[in-house]
Amino acid sequence: MELAYYSDYAVRLVNTEEPARSKDSLTTVESIRELFGANAQAARRATEADVTRFRSVRARLRAVFEAADSGDETLAVDLLNSLLLEFPVSPQISGHDVRDEDGRPDWHMHLADHPSNATAGFAAIAAMGLAFHLTSHGVERLGLCEAAPCRNAYLDTSTNRSRRYCSDRCATRANVAAYRARKRLEAEGSGGTRRTADTAQPSSPGTDR
């Protein structure tokens, strides 16, 4: 498993909440276990106490994305470093997949956590993954969706650093809204032009007194 994969842990956790819509899907142990994906062994450690702890880590990860999105590179790094210090991991070489017919292992880097609870394990992996993405691709690759009121987190993997939305759905919605706004301005502008032209018309003969 490549280290870049782990950065998605942070995105998945941050996006369990939509503050502008007052929505929060992180409410049960089962919702926490779903965040672990295929890592079933780690998911089984989750308990009711992790709901509150996960929400706390989520707020701190969102703060990293907010700092990056606002252009405050130093703050984003400082916030992420504090998470890395609190939730450390140990990089290890793993080879649980078979590479060829001879049965040789497919060696790759793996992050081994040593958590006291499910939150610590998830936070360690999420923070390290996000740190790997940040240092490999730049702070500006961490973004928040511009399609209000969404503000979901995303990782920009585009070749020209052009991503602005968390999904195609939000991109379409934002483009439609922008198109309608332009049409309203055009209509208002043409209406104002007509009104100006009407007031500029000379008075008809015989109307002056």
Q: Could you write out the DSSP letters of every residue in 1-50?
A: --GGGGHHHHHHHHTTEEGGGTEE---SHHHHHHHTTT-HHHHTT--THH
From the list 16, 12, 62, the residue with the least C-alpha distance to 37 is 12
Is the pTM value of this prediction over 0.75?
yes
Q: What is the pLDDT of residue 209?
A: 40
Q: What is the pLDDT of residue 202?
A: 53
Print pLDDT tens along the chain (209 aa).
456 678 999 999 999 999 888 999 999 999 999 999 877 788 899 999 999 999 999 999 999 999 999 999 999 999 999 999 999 887 788 776 666 677 788 787 777 766 779 999 999 999 999 999 999 999 999 999 999 899 999 999 888 888 999 999 999 988 887 778 888 887 787 765 555 555 555 554 554 44
From the list 65, 79, 74, the residue with the least C-alpha distance to 10 is 65
Q: Residue 122: which residues within 8 A CB-CB, separation 6 or more?
A: 9, 13, 32, 35, 36, 42, 54, 57
From the list 120, 48, 119, 133, the residue with the least C-alpha distance to 87 is 120
Q: What is the pLDDT of residue 106?
A: 77
**What tokens does 151 get?**
């503000």
E strands, 102-145, in order: 108-113, 142-144
Q: Is the C-alpha dihedral spanning 63, 65, 68, 73 positive or negative?
A: positive
Question: Side chain identity at 177, as an amino acid letter?
Answer: A
Q: What is the pLDDT of residue 74?
A: 97
From the list 29, 43, 20, the residue with the least C-alpha distance to 150 is 20
Q: What is the pLDDT of residue 192?
A: 56
Residue 108's SS3 state is strand
Q: Is the C-alpha dihedral spanning 2, 133, 125, 165 positive or negative?
A: negative
**What tokens does 193 get?**
């032009």
Angle between helices 73-86 and 118-137 (to 10 degrees): 140
